[in-house]
Structure 1
């Protein structure tokens, strides 16, 4: 979508938009800066906007922006101010009333989201939803609602332990496909399974313990689906799945999945460079899991370390890394297919902390260690780690070494469907383009052209 117009004209004599004016002042932004931020953020939702300071001047004078643009303006202001902003506060008319994004019935809202995600005609629209940096997450209530809600569900048959096992097994299989073939193939399967199988199970009658188990299993799969959406750069969609995973975990009184999902949300915030938000979410996850096992503790401390380093808390970051290392040393050898944490993940966190604290050689060394101990079947993780390491080697001035690492990245990239992989591929080609005099760069350029032809 490409919008160049200012918005909807108002009748002569309309009042100035003092709400937007106040928010602009709070943000410390000029009109041009607001326009540029709106243009950038709209690109996340598939819109091409070309606003400048004159458009903002019209909005301040009372002209209403187009309906499609108003949520973008609100989101931009939320991100800048670090707090929720309502349409009314910004002097903007709310979009036409419709069904809320999150209804009180978690199952129905999950069904709506899954249907939209699996529909090819709507997938692009739902995936382009905006990430909200000011989103408030549901707090863990500390008690299960499954028994209380048993009478209120709309029965569609009866389920037992076998149906719970089906969801758990399918979730593990989807995680395996994610590792082997990429999120581009795995996520549509997850969305279809949520709609066609999990949602009916959630509506079926069951005993209290079985219902809690099913809610927990559904939360696990929803978390995984959100993680895949995030990995595919559909950040608004991923955030929606994450919130639904939190609500399902709440109803099941499942501390582990609740905390793991919060940690996933922290990772998403850190990917988008919202360091303070990442730290808040990581700390919230840790606070909600006082009795967590050692592997989950390590999982959470590692993310706290990364987020702390992003906001300049160097001492705290290294303290959290030490805590993660100690916890991981106490964990058993069991491999978790969903949200697991191992030495490879720990070393990846070490690499992030060292990079944020300006130790580029140390970060590269940690990435090499992470790749060395990474399970062979985790192609998706290896793809990302090699791409990150190549970019840091390039940044350090080791161009030929970076080319070798990018070559290893291409080995996995050709067999994976991954939007993040596509992003890394584009970055690689841009980085090496000026280095045609180097043999390693020329060979990599030639191979990248071949790969682009295969992917095209």
Structure 2
């Protein structure tokens, strides 16, 4: 029986303006970026348009290729790839998927494979009602019976890992978190127990998945990070826990830092919508990210409105932040700096980053390296070479204590920026000092 033409895909193809061969080349290129060698040609595309369904991993690549071409997210439904019944094929059982993700992440031999993971602007993020309906994906295996002491242990472990990440970076902490997810958390998710305890375990597991994804971002493993973030969303939904918005907001941070402003805005707005009853600190946490994303897409009015909202909410928040990833005045000052920079006020952004550093606890070494580096780059942008070298000097002091991909990248950028000025005594002194404490591979 002949298949029906895929009218959805035909519409996307017509909108793209591609020839059949150009479409095939674009799909092959995205496949290569993800480590999937593809050899499609015009004939294959013709078959897809005629109704032949590509295999599951190729469908994801096709969606990404069209998303890039059309500059907007393209979902499976948009392309006529929606599953015909039951859960989408891209959403296997939550716990099984979490185990598979974590096992690969904790295995050093698999790191190079994970490293080719692709950040997808086509990622289909489920809405809150849809996520809640997936509670049945968390299976009860009746391996053992869990209680709140088991949940408390997961919460405590998450807080410890978060502290290690803040102080030393995620390179060493993430494999430890992945092993804990596989060996301790996953069996707990399958275990029997009172429904309230099982929901609490799902919520605690969601927080740890979010943190593990955040650490994957730190290493530049963006596809892996999205995998963890999606698991965090599914677990939060199964627990009927509106901390779902924290993960959406984290996904927005990932997108805005990669320059995907519209995706970042969509995710930041979704995060805010998922937490309509947010308290002052959470509202500041969400509005600050909305401000940054709005500024990146050039919406000055929205950016300043959200920033004022974040500032007003922070004024109402209790003075002490108590949980990991808590938003605080230092975080808000950072967002002020990012908004000002995106809107063209480089000098104002530097002043805000300086204020952020004064307010930040100095055990947050990874972020200090990142944000001081950002400040130095902007000082140099204004032609303030000596001030930039002084700021980078602080980076060089902290950097040896941190294991972080993002910090490595900032140090590489430092070398690139100061190299043309090495005849200047301040730049030369910084360069020589940095060579003593940074790997040669970073550009020394």
Structure-to-structure mapping, 1:50-449, within 5 angstroms: 72=61, 74-81=63-70, 82-84=72-74, 101-103=90-92, 105-141=93-129, 153-255=140-242, 257-449=243-435
Q: CA deviation at 1:264?
A: 0.4
**Structure 2: tracts of 5 or more residues without a match:** 1-6, 49-53, 82-87
Q: CA deviation at 1:126?
A: 2.4
Matches of 2:67 and 2:131, distance apart in 1 = 32
Give CA-to-partner distance per residue, 1:120-160, whole Å, 9 cap, x none: 1112212422121021112212996799789x511111110
The answer (yes or no) to whether the contact 1:146–1:252 under 8 Å persists in 2 is no
Q: CA deviation at 1:68?
A: 9.2
Q: Secondary structure at the match of 1:452?
A: coil
Give CA-to-partner distance per residue, 1:199-222, whole Å, 9 cap, x none: 011111110110111111001101
Give CA-to-partner distance per residue, 1:244-288, whole Å, 9 cap, x none: 101101111111x20111100111111111111111111111111
Q: CA deviation at 1:452?
A: 2.9
Give CA-to-partner distance per residue, 1:379-421, whole Å, 9 cap, x none: 1111111111111112122122112111211222111110111
TM-score by length of 1: 0.83
The answer (yes or no) to whether the contact 2:166–2:365 under 8 Å persists in 1 is yes
Distance verdict in 2 for CA 1:212–1:90, change over 3 Å: closer
1:9 maps to what in 2?
A: none
The answer (yes or no) to whether the contact 1:260–1:339 under 8 Å persists in 2 is no
Distance verdict in 2 for CA 1:40–1:142, change over 3 Å: closer
The answer (yes or no) to whether the contact 1:21–1:60 under 8 Å persists in 2 is no
1:14 maps to what in 2?
A: none
Matches of 2:133 and 2:21, distance apart in 1 = 49
Q: How many residues align?
A: 426
Distance verdict in 2 for CA 1:299–1:146, change over 3 Å: same
CA root-mean-square deviation: 3.6
Give CA-to-partner distance per residue, 1:403-447, whole Å, 9 cap, x none: 211121122211111011111111111111111111111112212
Q: CA deviation at 1:74?
A: 4.3
TM-score by length of 2: 0.85
**Structure 1: tracts of 5 or more residues without a match:** 1-17, 92-98
Q: Secondary structure at the match of 1:83?
A: coil
